[in-house]
A and B are shown apart, each in its own frame.
Chain A
């Protein structure tokens, strides 16, 4: 007790009150955190860690460096522009023989092929003949295929020998390195990615705009009707929300296809002729219609939750003060709904930028989005690093929007139904 200064408040057992309080608060904090900890660990393992792997994969590709160690050290010890001599070719053949033994020549060829298309067969061909190659290696390798003497190929091999590379990001924005290592735009007919990003954002913005136009009147109606009626009508909004995405996409395929319901109705009504049937699916229109339908509830619900609490007396007051109904809407009602517009617009835009399933099924080739290209690089072209680079760019865009959503709306305001 003597250690405690006179005049300091203490608890019953003599500890300074401040310490006791801090300890109790610390305990409460730890207890709250312990409740969250299991989930946090789970999410870190099954979500955050895999996402970090995407980021790593986008700049790290050891397909060449792991399988061609001799070439890696040759490139390291010889500066850019060194003419490959017989020793270099001997190292190359040694590496190729080892890779052929380990059956990884195709992997190496794949990596070189990303940077210089058309070289995959070069490697697989030499892989089959690796054992028969005799010195002098330069002549015998060039005898297999003269391309082996091509300085372009050597330049590319030097680039891909580095496991860490920003090349995939360059490729993702339609840039590449030329022979001298400076960054240039790729050929006109190979520029696909920037256009696809632009198309993804433009289509998402368009879909968001249509959703807003369609959702605003409906949300307003739901907000001003008596609760009993609006709850009934709300079912019409919530049922699509609860229905399987594949079901809704299938329905649109049924409705929109050439021999489908909508075309048949239009033909029966005589609006279009039988051979003038509209092409509404497997193109941009199909994606737009189906995605608008799927995302519309995500616009209606936030608008509704903002419009519901607006007292109707405000507009009535404006009217009785002499405003026309348009002015009353524009100056009094609309400004109060802006938070809902912000929330719904951001949410719909975020969701539509990353859409995969619907564009894949009804988008054809002109209605696909960036997600479909990511899937293509995983499934078909097997270029994981390219997929990862595209995914990283998309992720950064989404996270910026998410941050914006949190600033403007707050994630704890997110509500379901």
Chain B
């Protein structure tokens, strides 16, 4: 959209104003996410840039809030940091334990969501599928229904069946997170299957492939990118979910978002910002992987961008 030569002066003004407006909106989108990164290196317990930070004085910056993530609540700080100390950190530090819990919950929720979701997407994209629209609407609805309503339902349901007494740790939270992640898997996998030429599987069968072999050799490579990005979406959904954990999780089931929630509600310290920074870096990584997968998927289906 370059400016045409016949543009009137007014149009020239508008052209640059328009770009400026867009730049401001982009700034609005990205600045809040980037601003936490430098602030997390603050040497003081403030949420704003100190004079020293503005003058790029090295003493205005420190890693103390990252250090706090390893030592909070009561890992000794005045001992040499050898293997034994790191073992203590691994066992005791609240944030490290929260991270472990988040990964465990996210992992199992993703496995359930991806397996069931991919199977269902395969069924849904078959032309013979009965009640396709209704079933699709039901399967997508966990994304649409407010999470507080789902949580309320689970709260009643889990207290009726007493899921916390079954002896399987995190079970209630994992099932709930899988439910929340399923729509993402369905959407991404059906998107890779849209426009899928069903004569390909018939051709494979014609050439003597068993249904399993045809699936593994023909369908699988096509849906893998969608499956992985669906899985990443499901994992992020679980990794970021706080409402369900707050209401139905046991007290010892602390995840990173729950720990953050508590931190923000009780006494917000810049340690939250260092967690936020780490999460931003993780999301940059995830975004990059999904983007690469999407392009790979488009290339495979011969839809590469012009």
Contacts and interface: CB of A to CB of B under 8 A. Distances in A.
A81 to B, nearest CB: 36
Interface string A195-236: 000000000000000000011011001001101000001011
A74 interface: no
Interface string B24-39: 0110111011011001
Given A237-B29, A250-B272, A355-B146, A54 B152 contact: yes
B83 interface: no
B26 A51 contact: no
A215 B279 CA distance: 26
B306 A36 contact: no
A407 to B, nearest CB: 11
Given A36-B120, A39-B119, A394 B149 contact: yes
Nearest to B158: A50
Contact of B129 (A29, A42, A236): A29
A354 B120 contact: no
B144 interface: yes
B203 interface: no
B35 A218 contact: no
A233 B29 CA distance: 11
B153 A53 contact: yes
B29 A242 contact: no
Given A250-B276, A260-B47, A242 B283 contact: yes
B153 A218 contact: no
Contact of A402 (B11, B141, B188): B141
Interface in B285-302: 286-287, 290-291, 294
Contacts of B11: 325
Interface string A310-348: 001000000000000100000000000000000000000
Contact of A50 (B46, B116, B157, B268): B157
Interface string B232-263: 01001001101100010000000001001100
A177 interface: no
B228 interface: no
B148 A391 contact: yes
Given A35-B120, A35-B122, A217 B153 contact: no
A257 B39 CA distance: 14
A212 to B, nearest CB: 12
A356 B240 contact: no
A293 B29 contact: yes
A246 B29 contact: no
Contact of A253 (B29, B261, B268): B268
B96 interface: no
A35 B26 contact: no
Interface stretch (B56-64, B74-82, B85-93, B178-186): B178-186
B16 interface: no
B123 interface: yes
A50 B153 contact: yes
A222 B191 CA distance: 22
B29 A221 contact: no
Given A243-B283, A415-B191, A36 B119 contact: yes
Contacts of B265: 361
A40 interface: yes
Contact of A48 (B124, B138, B306): B138
Contacts of B305: 227
B179 A46 contact: yes
B139 A246 contact: no
Contacts of B284: 239, 242
Interface stretch (A101-109, A130-138, A370-378): A370-378
Contacts, number: 266
Contacts of B136: 411-412
Nearest to B284: A239
B15 to A, nearest CB: 10
A264 B48 contact: yes
A62 interface: no
Most-contacted residue by chain B among A233, A355, A395 (CB, 10 A): A395
Contacts of B26: 218, 233, 236
B104 interface: no
Contacts of B14: 325
Interface of B is mostly: helix
A353 interface: yes
B128 A25 contact: yes
B33 A50 contact: no
A214 B25 contact: yes
Contact of B152 (A221, A325, A357, A388): A388
A247 B142 contact: no
A42 B148 CA distance: 20
A261 interface: yes
Given A236-B29, A253-B264, A375 B148 contact: yes
18 contacts: A32-B129, A42-B112, A42-B178, A43-B182, A47-B142, A54-B152, A217-B18, A217-B22, A225-B1, A239-B30, A245-B240, A246-B260, A247-B276, A254-B47, A356-B146, A374-B152, A384-B156, A416-B229
- The 4 closest A-B CB pairs, nearest first, are A354-B146, A50-B153, A35-B123, A39-B120
Given A47-B142, A417-B290, 17 more contacts: A32-B130, A35-B120, A47-B153, A47-B179, A54-B156, A215-B25, A238-B287, A243-B279, A246-B264, A250-B264, A251-B36, A253-B47, A293-B29, A354-B145, A388-B156, A411-B137, A416-B188
Interface of B: 1, 11, 14, 18-19, 21-22, 25-26, 28-30, 32-33, 35-36, 39, 46-49, 112, 116-117, 119-120, 122-124, 126, 128-130, 133, 135-142, 144-150, 152-157, 160, 175-176, 178-179, 182, 184, 187-188, 190-191, 229, 233, 236, 239-240, 242-243, 247, 257, 260-261, 264-265, 268, 272-273, 276, 279-280, 283-284, 286-287, 290-291, 294, 305-306
Interface of A: 25, 28-29, 31-36, 38-40, 42-43, 46-54, 57, 214-215, 217-218, 221, 224-225, 227, 233, 235-240, 242-255, 257, 259-261, 264, 293, 296-297, 312, 325, 350, 353-357, 361, 371, 374-375, 378-379, 384, 387-388, 391, 394-395, 398, 402, 406, 411-412, 414-417
